[in-house]
Amino acid sequence: MFDFIIPFVILILVVVFIHEYGHYYFAKKYGVGVTDFSIGFGQEIFGWNDKSGTRWKICWIPLGGYVKFFGDRNVFSQADQEKILQKYNEEDRKKLFVLKPLYQRVLIVFGGPLANFLLALVIFFSIYTFVGKDFTPAVINEVQKNSPAMVGGLKQDDIIIEIDGNKVESIMDVSKYITMSTADFIDFKVKRSYDELLLKIKPNLVLSEDNLGNKINKRIVGIKLGAYNNEINHVKLGPAKAIYHAAHEVYYVSISSLKYLGGMIVGKADSSQLGGPIRIAKISGQVAEFGVLAFISMMAYISISLGLVNLFPIPMLDGGHLMFYAFEKVLGRPLSQKTQESFFRIGLILLISLMFFTTFNDLKDLGLFK
């Protein structure tokens, strides 16, 4: 497990720094005072003060970070602006986050998740530009006997065009789209000779291992793939195509993640695959062994996940604050402190429950629970 600590810390440092810098950037843009920029929680390991008085620091618990604004006493301070006006002089009031116009507060809060999505976009763009993207058509070389694929009508030499409406641009897309599907049947659109056919395949759920040796419940259809005409088509893209495909990947991962979480809520997706910091640490260490490219790619996916989760309308997350701002816009005033406190208690319970659930999955993944 200790072999995974360094890759995990590097990944968290980068992804969390980018997230918090998104908040910091918009805060400085709109004149909000920033007293602390922290990566990690708990006791400070080391830090420094910049010219504007911000304390930049690294702390011992590398499971997140925060940006603390000038005069940020509590999360309910928007509801008691009269007390704030009495406490601070006119010069200091200009640096207070809670007294900024609503649209500026929204952008400051949204800046964190936005920065995570932009980081993933930059990573994918860089990979597609300098390393390349695979465009090898996926051809079925073999259909296993009595498999879901055979029952559903897939045949040898079929070229897979789409899966669940997603265009299959390479062999690598097939496994990704099958894994991320949550419906009982997976729609395969294939080219057979000169015809295009739409077939519905009901996958089997099999306890298996991923490429890193981790046990997962895998959706299996029973096909073996090969390259069309045995030719690998790996292409370095120009800027326009690279940004298009990078944006598409960020969009696809975001939408698929939401569908998967929705599937877990209604009991259609495998909740055992939902992991927390321990699983991320384990996988980041395993991926690092495959090289820098694989590790950087994983960083992009983790960054998307962090940005997405923070947008959930749960108090204590960025999305919870945005939810409060939506109420403020509709009502013309902030919610009362009592109402916000009630929401935050609910949010705390939800987050603690999620933390225990993911930790249990992590420990079960390590073999500590059966």
136, 226 Cβ separation under 8 angstroms: no
Q: Report the pLDDT value the prediction gives residue 258, as an integer from 0 to 100.
A: 84
Q: Which residues contact 209 (CB under 8 A, 6 or more apart)?
A: 215, 216
What is the secondary structure of 67-123 as a DSSP string?
A: EEETT---TTGGGGHHHHHHHS-HHHHTT-GGGS-HHHHHHHHHHHHHHHHHHHHHH
Please give the class, per CATH, of domain 133-235: mainly beta
Q: Report the pLDDT value the prediction gives residue 272, as an integer from 0 to 100.
A: 55
Q: What backbone torsions phi and psi does residue 102 show, to the nearest 5 degrees?
A: -55, -45
Question: Is residue 20 annotated as part of the catalytic site, yes or no?
Answer: yes
Q: Report the pLDDT value the prediction gives residue 369, as an integer from 0 to 100.
A: 42
Q: Report the pLDDT value the prediction gives residue 36, as an integer from 0 to 100.
A: 94
What is the secondary structure of 218-257 as a DSSP string?
A: EEE--EEEEEGGG---EEPPPHHHHHHHHHHHHHHHHHHH
CATH 2.30.42.10 domain extents, the chain: 133-235
Torsion of CA 321, 322, 326, 331, to 10 degrees: 20
Q: Which residues contact 230 (CB under 8 A, 6 or more apart)?
A: none
Q: Report the pLDDT value the prediction gives residue 20, as an integer from 0 to 100.
A: 95
| 127 secondary structure, DSSP code | I
Catalytic residue among 20, 169, 209, 231: 20
71, 33 Cβ separation under 8 angstroms: yes
Q: What backbone torsions phi and psi does residue 224 show, to the nearest 5 degrees?
A: -115, 135
CA 114 to chain centre: 11
Q: What backbone torsions phi and psi does residue 52 show, to the nearest 5 degrees?
A: -85, 0
Q: Report the pLDDT value the prediction gives residue 368, as an integer from 0 to 100.
A: 44
Structure tokens at 97: 């986050």
Integer Cα distance of 110 and 37 in angstroms: 17
Please list the pLDDT of the chain residue by residue as tens digits (370 residues): 556 678 888 888 899 999 999 999 999 999 999 999 999 888 999 999 999 989 999 998 877 889 999 876 544 445 555 666 677 787 888 888 888 899 999 999 999 999 999 999 999 999 999 999 988 888 999 999 999 999 999 999 999 999 999 999 888 889 888 888 888 899 999 999 889 999 999 998 887 665 555 566 778 899 998 877 777 788 899 999 999 999 999 998 898 888 877 776 766 665 555 555 555 555 566 666 667 888 898 899 989 988 998 998 888 889 988 998 998 899 888 877 778 778 778 877 776 776 666 655 555 554 544 4
Mean pLDDT over each residue of the chain, to the nearest integer: 83
Integer Cα distance of 18 and 149 in angstroms: 43
Q: Report the pLDDT value the prediction gives residue 268, as an integer from 0 to 100.
A: 65
Structure tokens at 57: 């620091």
Q: Report the pLDDT value the prediction gives residue 277, as an integer from 0 to 100.
A: 54
First to last CA, the chain: 19
Q: Report the pLDDT value the prediction gives residue 366, as an integer from 0 to 100.
A: 47
